[in-house]
Chains A and B, each alone.
Chain A
């Protein structure tokens, strides 16, 4: 059972709340201080993506975040309920030439679809993205330091 569960309406303003809660629980779980910025960014990216999808396709359905403090690791699971989101960036960030992003031929606007999730998987060593017909589950894990997590 998760240590903390969050469900929130798909509003951009709530992503910050999710980041704050995730960082606070991670700190309490004993995640190293040096990794807290990584937790904050990765959870923010995963929640931003979920909120954008829900806002477009499932505005009445909340986004779910489960934070679990286990003896040897801290786990964050971000769940959206939008199937076939089609935002997979094949090849991840390495498939993008940064110079193309600022090419005069491209219109000013958002980065390519899937960019945020590609940041997550580049940032977090243990990140898993599971896509099903009913939605996507993004699981992020951080190992406990050698001394173990705080109780």
Chain B
């Protein structure tokens, strides 16, 4: 399964819907998408990972890079994920401490912390 990407703006926030597998082969595509959004002045991002089937450390690296880029503009990068198979790699790497992870896009859009 390849990577699918779609974006939609909700006011100041851009939701990036990601589907498929984020690995060493597909992660560059996600990286380019996040860089393009930041280049276009979109600094409040929600990455919806509910349709992601696989995520490895290369994908984590891209998300960490994206978080650093939006933070440089006082922005935020929130994740939407309820799948245990995906959450596990965030937990074992301690990255649950740096990414706000939400159960739904609506929850991420209304989060204020």
Q: A: which residues have CB within 8 A of B?
A: 12-13, 15-16, 19, 37, 40-41, 44-45, 48, 51-52, 93, 96-99, 101-102, 104, 106-111, 115-116, 119, 122-123
Return the CB mask of B31-70 against A: 1 if under 8 Å, else 0: 0000000000000000000000010111011001111110
> CA–CA, A51 to B57, complex, Å?
14
Q: Which residues of B contact A37 (CB under 8 A)?
A: 85, 88
Cβ contact within 8 Å between A122 and B25: no
Among the stretches B11-19, B93-101, B104-112, the one at the interface with A is B93-101
Considering only CB atoms, which chain A residue lies closest to B67 in the complex? A102
Cβ contact within 8 Å between A98 and B61: no
Considering only CB atoms, which chain B residue lies closest to A38 in the complex? B88
> CA–CA, A15 to B63, complex, Å?
20
Q: Which residues of A contact B67 (CB under 8 A)?
A: 102
From B54, B66, B72, B94, contact of A93 by CB (8 A): B94
Cβ contact within 8 Å between B98 and A40: no
Q: Which residues of B contact A123 (CB under 8 A)?
A: 92
Cβ contact within 8 Å between B98 and A48: no
The total of chain B residues at the interface (CB under 8 A) is 27
Q: Which residues of B contact A110 (CB under 8 A)?
A: 58, 61
The total number of A-B Cβ pairs within 8 Å is 84
Majority SS of interface residues in chain A? helix
Considering only CB atoms, which chain B residue lies closest to A14 in the complex? B25
Cβ contact within 8 Å between B25 and A13: yes
- Determine how close the nearest CB of chain A comes to the CB of B112; give it in whole angstroms: 20
- Determine how close the nearest CB of chain A comes to the CB of B87; give it in whole angstroms: 11
Q: Which residues of A contact B24 (CB under 8 A)?
A: 12, 15, 44, 48, 51-52
> CA–CA, A40 to B72, complex, Å?
34
Using known A-B contacts A13-B25, A45-B57, A108-B69, determine if residue A101 contacts B64 with beta carbons closer than 8 Å. Answer: yes
Using known A-B contacts A93-B94, A108-B65, A111-B61, determine if residue A41 contacts B89 with beta carbons closer than 8 Å. Answer: yes
Task: Give the top 5 A-B pairs by smallest Cβ distance, nearest first.
Answer: A108-B65, A98-B94, A12-B25, A48-B24, A116-B57
Cβ contact within 8 Å between A15 and B69: no
16 contacts between A and B (CB under 8 A): A12-B24, A44-B56, A48-B23, A51-B24, A93-B93, A96-B93, A96-B94, A97-B94, A98-B94, A98-B98, A102-B67, A104-B72, A107-B68, A111-B60, A111-B64, A119-B89
